[in-house]
Structure 1
Amino acid sequence: MRAWIVTFFLFYSICLYNTIHDALAFIFVGTGFDNPEDWPPLFGDIREATSIRNFWGKFWHRLVYRSYTSYGILISKHIFRLPKSSFIGKLFINFFVFTMSGAVHALAIWQLGYSCGAWVELRFYIFNFFGVILEMAAMAAYNKVTGGYKLNNTLSKTIGYTWVFMFLFTVLPKSQYPKVFCSP
């Protein structure tokens, strides 16, 4: 069931978002309001999703990334007075982006009439932030222990895909199950 949820989530989202994107691109480019280059692909190459960080940063759509990042920088710089280039500043900005994504998804779930599931959606996005932190720590430890030894490219990618799938296998159903049981 968990494997199905991960697979369904990925392919359903890709198909739905790409269909809407392509239909709107067809309309707006066809009517002359936009140029084709105004409608770049939503998703990156799935072969880049060898880490949680790459999954969200290189593969998954980035429709709201720039706006959330801008707000995160604004809050980090002007409220918390953190330098944007500092480690803590970067951590805060990334945490803010994941939290805002979760909050907006939770609000959408609540507005759709679900009696539960909003908070677990927010938790899913926050878990992804901590997944990125965990993999950064694991990579730093690996590099320290091995002196930066590089694995065979195929083995490295296999480990990466397995890690991303197992991470989603663990955290995604926890955000999807409640919505099944309390749908409007």
Structure 2
Amino acid sequence: MSRHQKDPLRPLTAAERKELTRLSRSPSAPAAEVDRARALLAIADGASYTAAADLVGRGHNETISAWVSRFNREGLAAVRPHHGGGPRLRYGVHEQQRILAEWARAPQREQDGTATWSLSLLQKALRQAPDGLPRVSRFTIARILHEAGLSWQKSRTWCETGAALRRRQDGLVRVSDPCQANRRIDPLSELKI
């Protein structure tokens, strides 16, 4: 038997119940959001905090109590988890725009030493620029590019390994290395974001 709840779940609106039901059945939503939706629906249907905790695999009903209190204050926004700890992000909108602007700039062969960007070369250019970011990491650059819907791999030029076009007297001829014939390399496997 659970203790008396200090902050019982308020009645759900029809729209909240519909959204929580949709989210609780979603196969693609983050697991934390699905668990919170399932627990809140169970409590709304009369289950105890302990039963709701067992339903979503939580050991204590204090977690469920915190979810209910937050839902009472914030509504459906409470289903999404907050920042999970660790240091706060040190790069704001201005710094993110600076990274995106550097990525959009075509590299200069003499200055940057490349014709296409890699994360390491982009990091080096940002660290050396007078208005750059002297401590930016490759992970931060990759995260910001990913959040902006960009990927540095898409802008790189790749060629098939072990095959080349050669100019001969008869014209262009495709030359293949027999050792590389059965080997396929995925260029996108170089960096997993």
Greater fraction strand:
2
Larger Rg: 2
- TM-score category (smaller protein): under 0.3
TM-score, normalization by structure 2: 0.21
Q: Higher helix share goes to which structure? A: 1
Choose between structure 1 and 2 for higher RCO, CA contacts under 8 A separated by at least 6 residues. 1
TM-score normalised according to structure 1 size: 0.21
